[in-house]
Amino acid sequence: MTLHPQTVEQFLKSCGTVPPGGLGPFTSLLSHIGIIGKSLARDLRVAGLIDVLGTTGQTNVQGETVKKLDEIANEIFVRVLRQSGVVRALVSEEMEKPVVLSAAGEGSPYLVLFDPLDGSSNTDVNMPLGSIFSVVLPGNGEGRVADADLMRRGVDQVAAGYLLFGSSTMLVVAAGNGVHGFTLDPWLGEYLLTHQNIKIPSKGTVYGANEGNYNKWPPGMRKYFDQLKLVDKAKRRPYSGRYSGCLVADVHRILLVGGIYLYPGETEKPEGKLRLLYEANPLALIVEQAGGAASTGTNRILDIEPVALHQRVPLIIGSRGDVQEAEQCLQGKSSA
C-alpha cells in the first residue's frame, strides 16, 4: 500500500510541539487559509473564462490600480477568516483600516495581516501569483484590539506563510519549528507535505529584481548589480537573472535554490515599493527560519518598529551570503 504524504493537520499533530495559540486553533487557521488557497486557485484556473481579468477602475489605499482579482481575493480572505472563528482582527493590503471580526473575550486568538493577491500585474497574462500572510497574537491577551497590536515588529510574528499559485498550488508555512511546504493535490483536495524543513543555501547564483529601475537606484546598489553580471568563475558569476513580477514566486525560487531578491529603495523613493507588515515581514520570517536573511540594506527587516499599517520598506532577501554582500556594497563598505 502506498502511504500518502502527510496532510497539514497530520503533520502539525505529528510535530509534538504546541503551535502558537494552541494546536486546535492553529490547525483551524491553517485549514481555513488552505480553503482560501483552494478557492482562489479555482478562480485563477478559469479566470480567462469568467470575466474577472482587468481592473475594477478603482485605486486602493496605496494609490495602485485595483484588479478585479485583487478584490475577489480580498473578499475570499475576509469571508473565510471570519468563518474560521479563530481570527480576532485582520489587516489587508486592499483595505485602509483593520477589520475586527470578533469581540474581545470570544477566544479567537489570532491577528492576521495579508496581501490577498501578490503580483497582481500577472493576472492578465497567466503568470504566477501568490498570497502572503503574517500571524501575531494580541499583546493584551483577550482585550480590545488596538492598532499597536497589529503594528508589531517582524520578530513578534508567531507564524507566517504564503500560497503560491504556479504550475501547482503550494502552501508554505513557518511557525517556529522550521519552514515546511505543502502541495495541493487537487483531486484529493488536500495539501500534502512535499517540502519538509526547507533550508536555503548560504549562497546562490540567481538574482531577482526589476532592473528597469536601475537608473533610479543609489550608486551602491547599481554597483552590486554590475558585479553580479561580471564573468568571475571563482564567485560563480555572472548570476542568472530571474524575475516574474510576483514576489512570492521569486522568493520561493530563491528559498529552494538560493540567491537574492531585491526591491531596493530608489534615490527619489527611498522607502521602496513593498509593504512591511504583510509582504516583507512574513517573507523575512520564512527566509530567516530557513537559514537566510532579509534586510533593508542597512537594517534587519524583522527588527523594524512599524509606524503605519501600510508602510513600505526596501527589501533585500535570500541567501545569507548574498544578502550580506549586497548590504556591504550598498553601504559602500566593499565591492562585493
| Binding residues vs ligand AHM (CB under 6 A) | 64, 93, 115, 118-121, 210, 245-247, 273
Quick check: helix, strand or coil at residue 43?
helix
Q: Least CB distance from residue 194 to ligand AHM, whole Å? A: 23
168 binds, among Mg ion, ligand AHM, none (CB under 5 to 8 A by kind): none
Residue with cell 492553529: 26
- Quickly tell me which residue has 515588529 as its cell: 153
Is the peptide bond preceding residue 238 cis, with omega within 30 degrees of 0? yes
Q: Which one of residues 70, 115, 322, 325 is an interface residue with Mg ion (CB under 5 A)?
A: 115
Of 36-44, 78-86, 115-123, 231-239, the segment contacting Mg ion by CB under 5 A is 115-123
Q: 112 with 81: CB under 8 angstroms?
A: yes
What does 64 interact with, of ligand AHM, Mg ion, none (CB < 5 to 8 A by kind)?
ligand AHM
Q: Where are the alpha helices (DSSP H) in the chain?
A: 8-15, 23-45, 68-84, 147-150, 219-228, 247-257, 281-289, 320-330
Q: How far is the CB of 262 from ligand AHM (least distance, A)?
A: 10
Classified as helix, coil or strand, 71 is helix
- Whole-number minimum distance, CB 117 to Mg ion, in Å? 7
Question: Half-sphere exposure of 110 toward its Cβ, with a 13 Å CA cutoff?
Answer: 32
For ligand AHM, which is the closer residue by CB, 64 or 124? Answer: 64
| Pick 19 or 119: Cβ nearer Mg ion | 119
Question: Can you tell me which of 70, 71, 94, 118 binds Mg ion, judged by CB under 5 A?
Answer: 118
- The Cα-based distances of 81 to 40, 142, 156 in angstroms read 14, 18, 21
* Residue 288 engages Mg ion in binding (rule: CB under 5 A): no
- Letter for the amino acid at 221? M
CB of 246 to ligand AHM, least distance (A): 5
| Residue 275: CB minimum distance to ligand AHM, A | 8
Count of residues in contact with Mg ion, rule CB under 5 A? 2
Coil, strand, or helix at residue 196?
coil
- The answer to whether residues 136 and 114 touch, using CB atoms and an 8 Å cutoff, is no
**Residue with Cβ nearer ligand AHM (62 or 227):** 62
d(CA 308, CA 331): 26
Tell which residue, 312, 283, 243, has the closest CA to residue 63: 312
Closest separation between CB of residue 303 and ligand AHM, Å?
Answer: 22
The residue number whose beta carbon is nearest to Mg ion equals 118
